[in-house]
């Protein structure tokens, strides 16, 4: 399906914070209350194997705003600033004539001046600051900004409602003023904690079943050393495991999970209002919508409630693209990565950047083609991971420690095959592909801008350097992943039949 148009499309990027895939019915969850995002998937393309660039907030968002993986932009964990010399997504769109709107949470470092309309909020809902746009909005209502749990405030005054209201109001102004195409980044904070669903949403799951917790004793002890260091578990594994067993903790976990899924459902309802506005205003068919989340959350799967790890509950994210009349409807694709968002938005705008380390998904989708991705890939602090159709491999550089999982037959990711003799060739080939990808991550802008002069060797290699692109490295990894999956497809079946998986 392909529509030729001389006009650049409007682009609406909606992100949530800390949203698991099992909060969406369209992702196959029977526990989800998500009618509006399910509708969006029916009106677009759902990526079933999408991964954040890094399963933690600031690194992932820095990758989105720059289109670069974390080792290049420098923000490899929260609390580490990204390098600011790189062109950002709104910078490039500004050059294409877009009006740029930033509404909500940033957490990617300094706000680019190329955003024309700004309503930002601090990155934490429990902040008591009175300086951001949400705090100023609440002042006449006599309601404090700080939120620590379920709210008695009217749901229309909740932060997510405020952010959606601002998005609708500003989009309507742009529409009426005829200011050309827009790029609107609506960045919601929920269902990140504090878990503060308003009113009846706090009780939505009181009598509803929840997904069973995927936990077995010993899960915390089995975590990689880097994960335990990041989460503060190192040397406290037995203490953490013991705490999970107390009746008080069990009650707290149950309540926390019910609030989480209720808050996700409330957030879905707010996104529904934004979709309804696009329909009513006539903007829907001229607007590319991308919905996703910066990372997921363990929510006590494997014994803890946090991200900073490569389990699917944390690393894998919802990802939907929709533009009826231009993109297919009711279809699914396999892989996407958060750096693809940057390339896709640029591609939809008729632009591109050779430095962006992602794939444009818009053009293949508009032609009804598969995703150019054949695997997920990401980084976390001093580690990297790859996820193919059949396998997931993690590697931790400092400890020279790895994990290998059979994704089809071990979806809970419990049987680590990294040291299993029968899987050595698979592990080695996946590790070689991952390390080759990681070693080729570089600042291509610096390389190309610095290339010139020198002797005969410098002149010979310059044409090669000047042809490099950020997408090349991603493509090579996908090709390697596909070859490995195809090579070991029959071997995979053999391992299963022998009971070795």
Residue 222 falls inside a structural domain = no
Confidence category of residue 16, pLDDT binned at 50, 70, 90: very high
Q: How far is CA 42 from CA 46, 106, 163, 363, 366, in A?
A: 8, 29, 25, 19, 16
The model's pTM is: 0.95
Give the DSSP H/E element, type plus range, for residue 261: helix 247-281
206 and 167 housed in the same domain: yes
| Cα 459 to the center of its chain, rounded Å | 41
In the DSSP assignment, the letter for residue 399 is: T
How confident is the model at residue 496, as a pLDDT?
55
Tell which of 327, 351, 371 closes a domain.
371
- Mean pLDDT, range 23-30, rounded to an integer: 98
154 and 300 housed in the same domain: yes
Residue 238 falls inside a structural domain = no
- Output the domain CATH number for residue 57: 3.40.720.10
Kindly report, residue by residue over 396-423, the tens digit of the pLDDT: 999 999 999 999 999 999 999 999 999 9
Residue 3 falls inside a structural domain = no
Question: Where are the alpha helices (H) located in 282-319, listed in sequence order?
Answer: 312-315
99 and 197 housed in the same domain: yes
Kindly report, residue by residue over 427-449, the tens digit of the pLDDT: 999 999 999 999 999 999 999 99
Non-local CB neighbours of 348 within 8 Å, separated by 6+ positions: 8, 9, 11, 288, 362
289 and 325 housed in the same domain: yes
Residue 377 falls inside a structural domain = no
Residue 316 phi/psi, 5-degree rounding, is -80, 140
The sheet carrying 391-396 orders its strands as 376-379, 383-387, 391-396, 401-406
What value, to the nearest 5°, has the Cα angle with vertex 448 and ends 444 and 453?
145
What value, to the nearest 5°, has the Cα angle with vertex 165 and ends 159 and 169?
150
CA distance 340 to 61: 12
137 and 94 housed in the same domain: yes
How confident is the model at residue 4, as a pLDDT?
35
392 and 253 housed in the same domain: no
Tell which of 343, 371, 399 closes a domain.
371
Give the number of other Cβ atoms within 10 Å of residue 192's Cβ. Answer: 24
Kindly report, residue by residue over 302-329, the tens digit of the pLDDT: 999 999 999 999 999 999 999 999 999 9
CA distance 155 to 153: 6
Token representation of residue 479 = 């090709």
Q: How many domains does the chain have?
A: 2
In the DSSP assignment, the letter for residue 398 is: T
The domain in which residue 330 lies consists of 10-216+247-371
């Amino acid at each position: 399906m392909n529509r030729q148009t001389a006009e650049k499309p409007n682009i609406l990027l909606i992100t949530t914070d800390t949203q698991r895939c099992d909060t969406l019915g369209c992702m196959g969850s029977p526990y989800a209350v998500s009618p509006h995002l399910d509708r969006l998937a029916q009106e677009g393309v759902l990526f079933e194997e999408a991964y954040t660039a890094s399963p933690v907030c600031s690194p992932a968002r820095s990758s989105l705003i720059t289109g670069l993986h974390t080792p290049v932009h420098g923000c490899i964990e929260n609390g580490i600033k990204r390098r600011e010399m790189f062109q950002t997504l709104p910078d490039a769109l500004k050059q294409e004539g877009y009006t740029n709107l930033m509404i909500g949470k940033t957490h990617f470092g300094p706000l680019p001046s190329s955003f024309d309309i700004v309503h930002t909020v601090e990155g934490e809902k429990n902040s008591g600051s009175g300086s951001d746009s949400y705090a100023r909005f609440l002042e006449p209502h006599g309601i404090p900004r700080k939120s620590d749990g379920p709210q008695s405030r009217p749901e229309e005054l909740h932060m997510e409602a405020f952010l959606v209201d601002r998005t609708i109001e500003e989009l309507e102004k742009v529409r009426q003023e005829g200011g050309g195409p827009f790029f609107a980044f609506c960045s919601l904070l929920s269902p990140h904690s504090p878990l503060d669903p308003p009113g009846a949403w706090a009780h939505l799951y009181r009598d509803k079943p929840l997904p069973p917790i995927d936990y077995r004793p010993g899960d915390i002890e089995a975590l990689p050393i880097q994960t335990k260091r990041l989460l503060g578990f190192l040397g406290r594994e037995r203490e953490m495991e013991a705490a999970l067993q107390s009746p008080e903790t069990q009650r707290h976990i149950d309540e926390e999970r019910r609030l989480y899924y209720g808050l996700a459902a409330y957030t879905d309802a707010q996104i529904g209002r934004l979709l309804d506005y696009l329909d009513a205003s006539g903007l829907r068919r001229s607007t590319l919508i991308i919905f996703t989340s910066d990372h997921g959350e363990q929510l006590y799967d494997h014994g803890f409630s946090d991200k900073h790890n490569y389990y699917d509950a944390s690393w894998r994210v919802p990802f939907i693209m929709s533009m009826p009349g231009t993109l297919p409807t009711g279809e699914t694709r396999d892989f996407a990565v958060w750096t693809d968002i940057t390339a896709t938005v640029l591609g939809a705008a008729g632009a591109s950047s050779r430095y962006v380390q992602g794939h444009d998904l818009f053009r293949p989708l508009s032609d009804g083609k598969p995703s150019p991705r054949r695997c997920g890939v990401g980084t976390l602090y001093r580690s990297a991971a790859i996820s193919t159709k059949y396998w997931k491999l993690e590697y931790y550089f400092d400890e020279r420690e790895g994990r290998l999982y059979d994704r089809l037959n071990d979806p809970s990711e419990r049987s680590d095959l990294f040291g299993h003799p029968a899987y050595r060739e698979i592990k080695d080939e996946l590790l070689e592909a991952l390390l080759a990808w990681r070693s080729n991550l570089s600042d291509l802008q610096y390389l190309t801008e610095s290339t010139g002069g020198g002797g005969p060797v410098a002149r010979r290699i310059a044409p090669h350097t000047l042809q490099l692109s950020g997408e090349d490295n991603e493509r090579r990894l996908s090709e390697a992943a596909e070859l490995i999956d195809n090579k070991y497809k029959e071997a995979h079946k053999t391992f299963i039949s022998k009971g070795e998986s």
